A = this chain, B = another copy of it.
């Protein structure tokens, strides 16, 4: 695949990065995923939030701050825009005040994308959306068996809702892992969570995931074993297709304050980058990054980090998709 065949970010002598329309990484905005290998999009859904909603504005803010991204990964040398056809297709449809209708629209959006052969790189929105993307990938034919999950997050998202702490919609930003396992979308034995922390509702709050075989790396364990051991554990689980989901609250709130439920004591950007770069080469079928709440960090620092992590993720996804399509 040659440079002039694929979309390139608008950066160069005639495209100042501070100027122009804010698209994801300054790629062209196209009306549909048709013809794309990787479809960048937003999912402005935050109706699954308990504490501080507002992540519906995340995609807009991430687009604006992705102006700072260039072309090539400095650590791995990966040049993703050379490997796959990639563009910004805009945002998934949502219907404010109707969680269920919005969820179905989002699932269908990703189902159509998957059916057309495009792989998603999505910016949330709250952390309900990986469940919806996985449902869509299954409906669209890309996810044909339970997928392994690589999840960066402060929270394990396995909240028990029956007899639990609320009586709202079970599909929310604290349940996607549990539901994904129950629905057969996620293979817990090939799944891993990094960065868990924060006080818990009870001693047994995460028993569901432990019992299901999920590997849960709490931050205090991470402090003992370090990022290289984590990379090894992920690679051990990455024997088949994997799905990568990043809750921005996996990072420390001093780095990413713009999120609904910050938990002090999180990962550093460098640790995140090191781990993601260590995953280059695995078979990722989709990526999301969630919980950027624009209003809670108007300075844009949270969104800037999010844009960087999306670029790191794209480097992995682009290679995986290129390999699936026989290009590398």
Contact = CB atoms under 8 A, between A and B. Distances in A.
When all copies of this chain in the complex are counted, the total is 6
Contacts of A299: 257, 296, 298
A265 B308 contact: yes
A116 B23 CA distance: 28
Interface in A78-93: 79, 88, 90-91, 93
A97 B169 contact: yes
Nearest to A164: B13
A307 to B, nearest CB: 9
A169 B57 contact: no
A138 interface: no
Contacts of A88: 21
A73 interface: yes
A64 B22 contact: yes
A270 B22 CA distance: 31
Nearest to A222: B270
Contact of A220 (B16, B21, B74): B74
B97 A172 contact: yes
A266 B64 CA distance: 21
Contacts of A98: 167-169
Best-surrounded residue of A54, A64, A96, A270 (most CB of chain B within 10 A):
A96
A306 to B, nearest CB: 9
B18 A57 contact: yes
A326 interface: no
A18 B56 contact: yes
Interface in A289-328: 293, 295-296, 298-301, 304-305, 308, 311
Interface in A4-49: 11-14, 16-23, 29, 42, 44, 46-49
A219 interface: yes
B265 A166 contact: no
A254 interface: yes
Given A52-B57, A53-B54, 17 more contacts: A11-B201, A19-B42, A19-B91, A19-B93, A21-B90, A22-B63, A46-B53, A47-B47, A50-B97, A64-B64, A72-B203, A72-B205, A74-B196, A219-B270, A252-B270, A257-B299, A295-B296
6 contacts: A16-B50, A21-B63, A79-B203, A199-B308, A265-B273, A266-B269
